[in-house]
Amino acid sequence: MPNKIITSSYHKAIICMVLAYISIALMGVFVKYASDELPASEILFSRFLIGFVFLLPFMIRDGDFRVEMRQWPFLVIRNLAGIGSMLCTFYAIKYLPLSISILLLNTSALFVPVLLFLLRTRTPLKVIACSVLGFIGVAIILLTDHHGEVEPYYIFVALGGATLAAMAFISLQELNKHNSPKNIVFYFHLLGAILLPLFFMAQWTLPTAHGLFMLLLVGGFGLIFQLLLTRAFKYAPANVITPFAFTGVIFSSICDWLFWQNVPTVHFWLGSLVIIVSVSLLARLRGQGKTKA
């Protein structure tokens, strides 16, 4: 009976993960369309604002706005790195095929061991080897001739976003020890909704009806992604479901083909396969490490 319950939970987790990354692919489509008339910071603001408005009633109902301030360095890094990561990703989506943008965002898992190593945290050699394998996959995509359609600069912007996402993830692991996930997500959306207008409002323009509709869709699908992802991690551990994050690459590739007639190259799929294998191995090693601990 327990095995059946675990299997059922894992199935639910996988379904939530796949639906989450369908949502992130669709969000990317609307980010790309909104980018035709609006800057990335304004588009990102819509996602933060909609998430904040959705979460606020639940925070008021529970009356739990407390944050463990002894962890303020991790709180600052998580929020600033997370906002910077999303800003880089939204900016890259405008100039890169959607499939490449989503794929490079998912390489954040490769940067975690590298950052931990640089911070002089004990990192097993096989974990570093998996990260190196993943970066070989990135190089395969980076060095591919894209017929002038892809500028390396924007690939490095996307990789910068993945690096910042890895920094946010490391800080998030520490914050989760003493703070509820709901509080962490709420303050992330709150700070994003406050900081983006402070630094970027001078660049913003009044959206047209079409632009406003795109912004609502970006915020809506971004929120759906967040809720489904949270639900997936409730049903199963990260080492089980992390590989399914790459279903977003498949869905975004389909969107690239349907909306912009961009057909991914053989090199793209080869590099993607190498990255998926390396991230899957990293997730398994992470799960084994927790089991031993």
For residue 157, pLDDT beyond 90: yes
103, 110, 188 from 240: Cα distances, Å: 19, 17, 26
Mean pLDDT across 194-214: 92
Rounded Cα distance between 288 and 130, Å, is 15
- At 164 the pLDDT is 93
**pLDDT for position 293:** 45
Measured over the CA atoms of residue 126, residue 131, residue 136 and residue 137, the dihedral's sign is positive
Please state the rounded mean pLDDT for residues 183-190.
85
pLDDT at residue 250 greater than cutoff 80 = yes
Answer with the residue of higher pLDDT: 272 or 84. Answer: 84
pTM above 0.75, yes or no: yes
Percentage of the chain surpassing pLDDT 90? 27
| Residue 87: predicted pLDDT | 94
Contacting residues for 19 by C-beta, under 8 A, at least 6 apart: 228
User: Which stretches within 1-124 are classed as H helix?
Assistant: 2-34, 40-62, 72-95, 98-105, 108-118
> For position 284, what pLDDT does the model report?
75
Contact 249, 111 (CB under 8 A): no
CA-based angle 274:165:77, to the nearest 5?
Answer: 155
Confidence of residue 247 (pLDDT cuts 50, 70, 90): confident
Residue 291 is predicted with a pLDDT of 46
pLDDT tens-digit map of 45-85: 999 999 899 889 988 888 777 776 677 787 888 889 989 99
Overall average pLDDT of the 215-220 stretch: 93
> 60-74, 184-198, 259-273 — which one is most confidently predicted on average?
184-198
Q: Does 195 have pLDDT greater than 50?
A: yes
Is pLDDT above 90 for 44?
yes
pLDDT at 35: 94
The sign of the torsion formed by the CA atoms of 60, 64, 69, 74 equals: negative
Does 173 score more than 80 pLDDT?
Answer: no
Cα 111 from Cα 119, distance rounded (Å): 12
Residue 216 has pLDDT above 80, yes or no: yes
| Mean pLDDT calculated for residue range 10-17 | 82
